[in-house]
Amino acid sequence: MKLNDVSFGFQKNRPIVQHISAKIVPGTILSIVGPNGAGKTTLLKLMADQLKPTTGQIEIAGQAISKMGRKQFASKVAVVSQQNHLYDDMKVIDVVKMGRLAKHHLLATITDDEVMPFMEMTRIAQLAQREMSQLSGGQRQRVWVASAIAQQPQYLFLDEPTTYLDIRYQAELMAIIRQLHRTGKMTIVMILHDINQAFRISDRLWLIQSGRLLKDGRPKSFYDEQLLSNVFQTKIHIVDIPNYGRYIVELPAGS
Ligand SMILES: Nc1ncnc2c1ncn2[C@@H]1O[C@H](COP(=O)(O)OP(=O)(O)OP(=O)(O)O)[C@@H](O)[C@H]1O
């Protein structure tokens, strides 16, 4: 995927994404990080063709995503968005099957067996017959991931996927993402607020500030206290933790 000078604003003269040019190398895990309101979700929506750039273009293998048909795009990109309750009255297995619709014309032709591997991978097989409204936030999140991977896309986009998860399920989700990346050869693009998690799992990071791509590089090049303190407008310190590695901590003012 390639972004060519992409800009976007919801209103005239109020740019939210500004002149972003970048490439996503197939097979990478890319995390998008940056302060609240920087434009990360808007950028992901542009890349997911849910919003159209005001100027510039996004392409996959030389083809503009705006010119792709719905089904063609769905075979390339699946999105796990921030949570919604639109499907609360549906059964878990049917939500997963909806992801599989990218490969079928009708929900009715998708068998339980066809979606079971995706449910097993995300450990929701035992929830198959439950209604979405009966699930915890963490369980729902895993259903959305199962539905997205059932699409078997080349690119999997996740917007703050760990938000509803406790520490164990966060680690589990990161393990699933590594597995998808390793065995499914999927390219993963995530917005992550936990900067340490982002640094640990990613091959590549994009740091967004005020709608601009401030830095695009390997995680180790972001261990820069001055850079991070300036962007997040708080005092950031990088420490070494035995058996873990480098860890970014926010220091209280005055310390
Ligand atoms: N539908 C909308 N209409 C108008 N402004 C919007 C809309 N959606 C988002 N914005 C504005 O766009 C800016 C960027 O929002 P966005 O959600 O992309 O940021 P973000 O970096 O993902 O933030 P966060 O980390 O808080 O989730 C914010 O100022 C937000 O208020």
Sequence-ordered list of residues with C-beta below 8 angstroms from that of 123, at least 6 positions apart, any chain: 142, 172
- Judge if the beta carbon of residue 42 lies within 6 A of ligand 1: yes
> What is the complex's ipTM, to 2 decimals?
0.97
Task: Give pTM, 2 decimals.
Answer: 0.92
Q: Measured in angstroms, how far is the CA atom of residue 2 from the centroid of ligand 1?
A: 22
What is residue 21's predicted lDDT score, i.e. its pLDDT?
A: 98
In which residue are the tokens 């799992």 written? 201
DSSP state, 28? Answer: -
- Judge if the beta carbon of residue 10 lies within 6 A of ligand 1: yes
For the beta carbon of residue 98, count every other beta carbon within 10 angstroms. 16
If one residue of 41, 160, 209, 214 were mutated to test the ligand 1 pocket, choosing by the most ligand atoms within 8 A of its CB, it would be 41
What is residue 81's predicted lDDT score, i.e. its pLDDT?
A: 84
Quote the tokens at residue 113: 């067996």
What is residue 253's predicted lDDT score, i.e. its pLDDT?
A: 67
For the beta carbon of residue 173, count every other beta carbon within 10 angstroms. 22
Residues of the chain where predicted confidence (pLDDT) is lower than 50 = none
What is residue 255's predicted lDDT score, i.e. its pLDDT?
A: 60
Q: Measured in angstroms, how far is the CA atom of residue 39 from the centroid of ligand 1?
A: 6
Quote the tokens at residue 157: 């986009």
Extract the runs of DSSP E, i.e. beta strands, from the chain: 2-11, 14-23, 29-33, 55-60, 63-64, 77-80, 155-159, 187-191, 204-209, 212-217, 235-241, 245-251
Structural domains of the chain in order of their starting residue, each with its CATH number: 2-224 (3.40.50.300), 225-255 (no CATH)
Nearest C-alpha neighbor of 146 from the set 170, 105, 114, 171: 114
What is residue 85's predicted lDDT score, i.e. its pLDDT?
A: 74
Q: Whose CA is nearest to atom 24 of ligand 1?
A: 36
